[in-house]
Amino acid sequence: MNRTHDEVLVGYTGPDPGLQFFKEDVVTEVRYRNLFDMMVDIIICAMMVSGHQNIPMIVTEARWRQCH
């Protein structure tokens, strides 16, 4: 997010590349087109800063059970 506000637009939370939502990192000027990409980048950067850049990261999917 950025330092001025923390609202997340619904279109930003999904992986739809057709939508033109993005958040720009004020330091690196990287534009994140969805929340997932931003969160993965944050984790990778934190691992690098703490000296764990050689540990592979695996991303999987978990689905919620349907409520009846």
Neighbours of 40 (CB within 10 A): 13
Q: What's the token pair of residue 30?
A: 């990287």
pLDDT tens for 31-64 read 888 888 888 998 999 999 999 999 999 988 877 7
Q: What helix, strand, coil percent values describe the chain, rounded to 5?
A: 30, 5, 65
Q: Which is higher by pLDDT, 1 or 54?
A: 54
Nearest Cα to Cα of residue 25 among 38, 43, 7, 15: 38
Q: Which is higher by pLDDT, 37 or 8?
A: 37
Q: What's the token pair of residue 59?
A: 């991303």
C-alpha 37/C-alpha 59 separation (Å) is 11
